[in-house]
Amino acid sequence: MNPALLNLKEYPMDFLIKTKERLKKEGKKIYDFGVGDPREPIEEFLVDNLRKYITCEAKYPTLKGLPELKEAISEFIKKRFKVDIESENIIPTYGSKEAIFHFPLVFINSFEEKRGVVFFSPAYPIYERGSLFANAKVFKIVLKEKNNFLPSFDSDIFFVDALKEKEYKKINLSKEEILKQTKIMFINYPHNPTGAGIDRKTLENLYELALKYNFILASDECYSEIYLGKEKPISLLEIAKDNNFKNIVVFNSLSKRSGFTGIRSGFVAGDKEVIRNYLKWRSSFGVAPQDFVQKVSILAWKDENHVEKRRKIFKEKYKLFKDFFERYNIKYFKSEFTFYIWIKMNKDYLNTLIENGIILQPGDFMGEGGEGYARLALVPSIEECKEAISLWKSLIEKGVLK
């Protein structure tokens, strides 16, 4: 067995799946806010075209991606972020998860000292898992609410050398000592699980570090289109556009934007040399989206009306919980990005909610820094959100929750 597997805990969602199965057998109604998989139906015009594009002859998909899809992605980037990017700087991917997981496998060299991967915790587990499989030196830096969950090296740092060690240890290294060893730094804004956004100055500072220490700054931006206020999240592409996207890549997908979580369609874009090398080895993974998925993705990237409809629904759900939390003095991180709410919550309170059918994800499932929090994903229907809030209120008012 790959020793990297021995270092990994059970995938967090597996525990929630087992718990929900048990509660269903006990006859309890489930309000599932635990998994970030929105239930809003995919727009009918996209489903109709998906059916149209499926044919009886299913050939291998093109790894480079259909030229029309790459052009549609380029147009989306130009319209949304005011950035001109050529098709050669873009690879369509099978969603963003596989692209992120495979990225360290291509760019980490086990025989080099400069094989560090930095990411900030709590975090989507894939940054860590792909890095461990690649035998990287993994630096996990804890995000703090006092810093609005923005990257800072003035924090707790956990380290494991996947080539030599099994367990993380807490270390005390300077920023310079870490960055000299860094090959890849993963960032994710808008942030899963906290919902935090990132400001332009912080992003500029991170990019300056990528240039100074010559590492790849890899930005997971799959929540860039889920914003509930007037402020739109910015992209790393905006910061690096005047430097030919040197040392950066961004990942994005249609999973949250269009509800394509089960269809799997995304892209990676950035530094032309990095993209060229990544494309060269992606044939080994067999992860190109099917042609019929690529064709319907063209329509999804070009249409904004269906995305705006989805944002309005998430905004309505967010207001329901915001009003409830404010009334009952439930502490949460205030943000208008993503469809997650990051709530201050102890284990007993969380377990009581779960046992009563209100499923939230424990914050520590997302790693160090998640202790004492729970993540609520605004994925059930509006009516189900109202029912869950009513149940939550009754548990408070009956003294079950304290």
Report the alpha-carbon distance of residue 144 to residue 333 in Å, rounded. Answer: 11
Element of type H or E holding 320: helix 305-327
* Contacts of 363 by beta carbon, 8 Å cutoff, 6+ apart: 122, 193, 342, 345, 370, 371, 372, 373, 374, 375
Report residue 57 as tokens.
């002859």
Residue 4, pLDDT above cutoff 90: no
**Rg (the chain; Cα; Å):** 21
| Tokens 């890549």, residue located | 249
The better pLDDT of the pair 325, 16 is held by 325
Helix, coil or strand: residue 166: coil
Phi then psi for residue 254, to 5 deg, are: -95, 5
CA nearest neighbour of 276 among 87, 111, 112: 87
pLDDT tens digits, one per residue of 329-385? 999 999 999 999 999 999 999 999 999 999 999 999 999 999 999 999 999 999 999
Residue 333 is predicted with a pLDDT of 98
Three-state secondary structure of 59-99: CCCCCCCCHHHHHHHHHHHHHHHCCCCCHHHEEEECCCHHH
pTM (2 d.p.): 0.95
| Per-residue exposure over 319-340, b if at least 16 CB sit within 10 Å of its own CB, e if not | eebeebbeeeebebbebbbbbb
DSSP secondary-structure letter at 52?
A: H
Residue 6, pLDDT above cutoff 90: no
Report the alpha-carbon distance of residue 59 to residue 277 in Å, rounded. Answer: 25
Strands (E), 224-321: 248-253, 266-270
Confidence of residue 165 (pLDDT cuts 50, 70, 90): confident
Helix, coil or strand: residue 266: strand
Report the alpha-carbon distance of residue 172 to residue 304 in Å, rounded. Answer: 47
Helix, coil or strand: residue 248: strand
| Tokens 């000592």, residue located | 177
Which residues is 161 bridged to in the sheet? Answer: 137
pLDDT tens digits, one per residue of 232-276? 999 999 999 999 999 999 999 999 999 999 999 999 999 999 999
pLDDT tens digits, one per residue of 57-110? 777 888 899 999 999 999 999 999 999 999 999 999 999 999 999 999 999 999
Domains of the chain by start residue, with CATH: 3-42+306-394 (3.90.1150.10), 58-303 (3.40.640.10)
Alpha helices in 328-376 (DSSP H): 347-355
Q: What is the dihedral of CA 352, 357, 363, 366, to 10 degrees?
A: 140
